[in-house]
Amino acid sequence: MPEPQGPMIVGEPSSGARADDDLLRGLNPPQRDAVTYRGQALLIVAGAGSGKTSVLTRRIASLLRNREAWPSQILAITFTNKAAGEMRERVQQLVGDSAQSMWISTFHSACVRILRREAQQFGFTKSFTIYDSGDSRALIKRLVKEHEADAFGLTPASVQGRISKLKNELADAESFARQANMSDPAERLFAEIFADYQRALQKANAFDFDDLIAQTVYLFRAFPHVADVYRRRFRHVLVDEYQDTNHAQYALIHELTRPVVGDAEPYAAGGMMIFEASEAPELEGASLTVVGDSDQSIYAFRGADIRNITEFERDFPGAKVVLLEQNYRSTQNILSAANAVIGHNFDRKDKKLWTDVGDGDPIIGFTGYSQHDEAQFVADEVEALRRKGVDYAQMAVFYRTNSQSRALEEILIRSAVPYKIMGGTKFYDRAEIKDALAYLVAVTNPADELAVRRILNKPRRGIGDVTETTIARYAADEGITFRDALANASALGVGPKIQHAISHLDAVLAEATEIMLPSSGEVAPPAAVTEGLTLLLNKSGYLDALRISKDPQDEARVENLDELVAVTREFARNNPEGTILDFLTEVALVSDADDLDDASGSVSLMTMHTAKGLEYDAVFVTGVEEDLIPHRISAGEPGGPQEERRLFYVALTRARKRLYLSLAMTRAQFGEVSVAMPSRFLQEIPHELIDWRQSPGDVNSRGGSRSRALNARRPGGGFGGSGGGGAGGSGGGRYGDDLVPLPRREKPVGSIEKFANRIPAKVRDNSDLELAPGDRIRHDDFGDGRVDMVTGEGAKRVAHVRFDSAGAKKLLIKIAPISKL
DNA sequence: GCCTACGGTTTTTTT
DNA sequence: AACCGTAGGC
């Protein structure tokens, strides 16, 4: 990491309270301020790459070293588990093992921890399930159907989105119903579904992602004595990526940093708590440190409120603000491009990143004819960098939408480039994994009807819709849970075969329960999760069904389940005290993107959103096209284009040394090929910063129908590795009307640079340049040469030039970087 | 109840 | 191109 790193102090701060001098070493003045300031509220405005993690970890270390805080009094919140893990590790390097007792976690994990402890205060049990968005969608889908709401234009997706938004604003079904226009049937229906959804969650003893935050806030507000426990405990609250907090998260922070007013009698049953204004607080609020950068706010779509950071000073009067503008990550070229792009957002505090490491390499641009062509460019450059000694792990490829990864993967596989997709289709999203987890949930949280229904007929047991409904009705009539109804199969009035199937499932679940949650009350051994899961998968017949199946994919499913079993073993090893609940919590909240370490040796592929907070020596930003970045859907939304620009800015600023921007002229979407336009953001970058290997102009000027020439040379399955080859080698001349041909991309043998063709996109305009055969010209890259002839008309005039050293080339006069001598 | 075929729909980003 | 839901045959 290029961040300033003082000498590491490893191990215990053995010699008692120590000055924090060593923590400040290598920091610039504002960074020092940020570490040493002591007060109620501190806002660190940290531009990309300005060393904020260093500052945050040293600030924590300094609090501990100076004995201003115990580890247990510190709560540090990040957005991803990965960021949390990284922070913990770095704090540990500074202060040693005492880092273990700090809460360094995401909003969601911290809330789960609190909720598991306090759930019984308000009608949940500690075994509650966490519904991911797929689970909640399944539930909402059922409700939408029940209410026949699709007739009013309510789709599961729109309902889910709205509910999520409302929860992020701390609105519940009741408060929504109060202010909604109930004369509109669609609104009324939505309000009913919202209320039903919430009831269903409560009944299932489950929280969705948004509830984890919102319900914690409710808990604190409804039970001040509970909140006080945490207020007393956490004396220093630090929040990273503050610009991406939503209202609920903001409220949570507020609740946590409130002064402790007094020893209100606990469990004041129904009584009002009255706090007299004159009464001095028993304990002042915890100190709050937030770190953020409004230019990197990219989560407005899920409720992040940029005002949380822009109005921090108003929210916390007397707050100190520290500005970090010096960048320790990227070269000046990269920063200049990023500054130029973000500068197009009006309505922002001007802030310019700078560095003293020098300009560095130019940004490389490339326009492919198709997404595969573009991908091939990426693969070739990756290999070229590798040969120059750059590790695969130090390269990353970004894209706007997950669907773009397909073409990249195809080509990378073909080119034998090792890669890893970060946070793509998640392991835990696979159907068989979700089934297995549903089995576990059915055991730990029998109230979770959704989970029990999910496994009811997996594997096939002959239990269909009709039987499922019968069970549900029986449960409702008897006033028991769906799960308990399974124990009375004989009372359901179904056929003997089905009866037997249900009883068998019930028995298997009961047996697993005995293993993982022994009725004797003793604590289950660490291996219980593994043992229980294995039992469930085997005795339920789930694995057998997959093994017998003829579907070739089912083999892979068995392997995935084996891996899940391995995960439980690993979990038991790492968490000797870990229970089945801890395991389920972890898999619900930990995403694949979090395990960064085993990306070693591979190129990382990820969306631009996932890229936030990461950095790489070389970064490829792909699909820099209109309708992709900025994405078409965001164009119409207020603030959409600006958020997209910030997203692009985030992508650019991930690069340390080399930045590649690429796009494709055509892109297959919906199975159809459509023509793509260069992104407007491309033109916001000063053109002298980009060195185009192949510019949009090059590709455009060939006239529509020839663009498959390149692909035609690349047969689908079978070019051997024999590389190089083919037509590409010797430049100019042989390509009919084609302009400077693309170099062969499969296995570049020689220097790619010799094919370089710098034509800035849409910036240069040589329309007025008159050239005639015999004229001497100078080209930015190819040097001097003589014009052989000029063909074409108007904007499409092409000069055929014989360069003194670079050979024959065809150049589109309008945009070629040439001048007459 | 299960399987297959067909047609409509789809792709924004994530804890 | 891939996924989902429905319809119709078994």
Give A531 CA → B14 C1' in Å.
Answer: 32
Q: Where are the alpha helices (DSSP H) in A124-170?
A: 133-146, 156-168
The label of the residue with tokens 């108007």 reads A794
DSSP A644-655: HHHHHHHHHTTE
Please report the pLDDT score of residue A430 as a whole number: 84
**A141 beta carbon < 7 A from strand C?**
yes
**A465 beta carbon < 7 A from strand C?**
no
Q: Dihedral, CA atoms, A778, A783, A786, A787, nearest 10 degrees?
A: -60
Please report the pLDDT score of residue A740 as a whole number: 32
**CA–CA distance, A17 with A813 (Å, rounded to integer):** 71
Block means of pLDDT (10 residues each) for chain A, 821 residues, are: 40 45 82 90 91 91 87 91 86 85 92 94 92 89 83 84 91 88 85 92 93 95 92 93 92 92 52 50 85 90 85 87 91 93 83 86 91 91 92 93 89 86 76 92 93 90 87 90 91 86 93 89 86 94 86 82 91 89 88 58 90 92 92 82 93 95 88 85 92 82 39 30 29 29 27 22 54 82 80 69 73 70 82
Protein footprint of strand B, defined by Cβ closer than 7 Å to any strand atom: A 79-81, 106-109, 132-133, 157, 209-210, 298-299, 301-302, 401-403, 423, 457, 460-468, 498, 589, 591, 593, 606-607, 609-610, 631, 633-634, 637, 669-671
Q: What is the amino acid identity at position A471?
A: I
Minimal CA–CA distance to A375: which of A700, A746, A752, A814?
A746
The count of C-alpha atoms lying within 13 angstroms of the C-alpha of A33, restricted to the half-sphere facing its C-beta, is 13
**CA–CA distance, A578 with A526 (Å, rounded to integer):** 7
Please report the pLDDT score of residue A806 as a whole number: 67
**CA–CA distance, A333 with A365 (Å, rounded to integer):** 13
Give A670 CA → B10 C1' in Å.
Answer: 7
**A721 beta carbon < 7 A from strand C?**
no
Write the Ramachandran bin of A567: left for phi over 0, alpha for psi from -120 to 50, otherwise beta. alpha
**CA–CA distance, A738 with A735 (Å, rounded to integer):** 5
| A611 annotated as belonging to a binding site for a ligand | no
How many CB atoms within 10 Å of residue A35? Answer: 23
Q: What is the amino acid identity at position A5?
A: Q
Minimal CA–CA distance to A321: which of A332, A329, A313?
A313
Q: For residue A668, give the nucleotide whose C1' atom is nearest its CA.
A: C1
**CA–CA distance, A56 with A75 (Å, rounded to integer):** 12
The pairs formed by A84-93 with CB atoms below 8 angstroms and a separation of 24 or more are: A84/A109, A85/A594, A86/A53, A87/A53, A87/A56, A87/A57, A87/A240, A90/A53, A90/A54, A90/A57, A91/A57, A91/A60, A91/A61, A93/A8, A93/A9, A93/A10
Extract the tokens encoding A758. Answer: 């710098």
Is the torsion defined by CA of A818, A734, A772, A814 positive or negative?
A: negative
**CA–CA distance, A780 with A623 (Å, rounded to integer):** 27
Please report the pLDDT score of residue A709 as a whole number: 32
Q: For residue A168, give the nucleotide whose C1' atom is nearest its CA.
A: B15
**CA–CA distance, A237 with A226 (Å, rounded to integer):** 17
Q: Are A595 and A430 in contact (CB under 8 A)?
A: no
Minimal CA–CA distance to A285: which of A612, A41, A495, A459?
A41
Residue A273 has phi, psi (to 5 degrees) of -95, 125
Task: Name the residues of A annotated as catalytic.
Answer: 52-53, 240-241, 296, 654
| A46 annotated as belonging to a binding site for a ligand | yes
**CA–CA distance, A1 with A616 (Å, rounded to integer):** 10
| A319 annotated as belonging to a binding site for a ligand | no
Q: Are A399 and A620 in contact (CB under 8 A)?
A: no
Q: Are A78 and A105 in contact (CB under 8 A)?
A: yes
DSSP state of A625: B
Q: Are A36 and A20 in contact (CB under 8 A)?
A: yes
- pTM score: 0.78
Please classify residue A755 by burial: count the beta carbons closer than 10 Å to its beta carbon, then call 0-12 exposed, 13-18 middle and 19+ buried: buried
| A425 annotated as belonging to a binding site for a ligand | no
Please report the pLDDT score of residue A712 as a whole number: 32
Q: Taking CA A39 as the corner, what is the angle to CA A79 and CA A22, rounded to the nearest 5 degrees? A: 75
**CA–CA distance, A164 with A170 (Å, rounded to integer):** 10
The count of C-alpha atoms lying within 13 angstroms of the C-alpha of A89, restricted to the half-sphere facing its C-beta, is 7
Q: What is the amino acid identity at position A702?
A: R
Strand pairing class (A798-803; A807-812): antiparallel
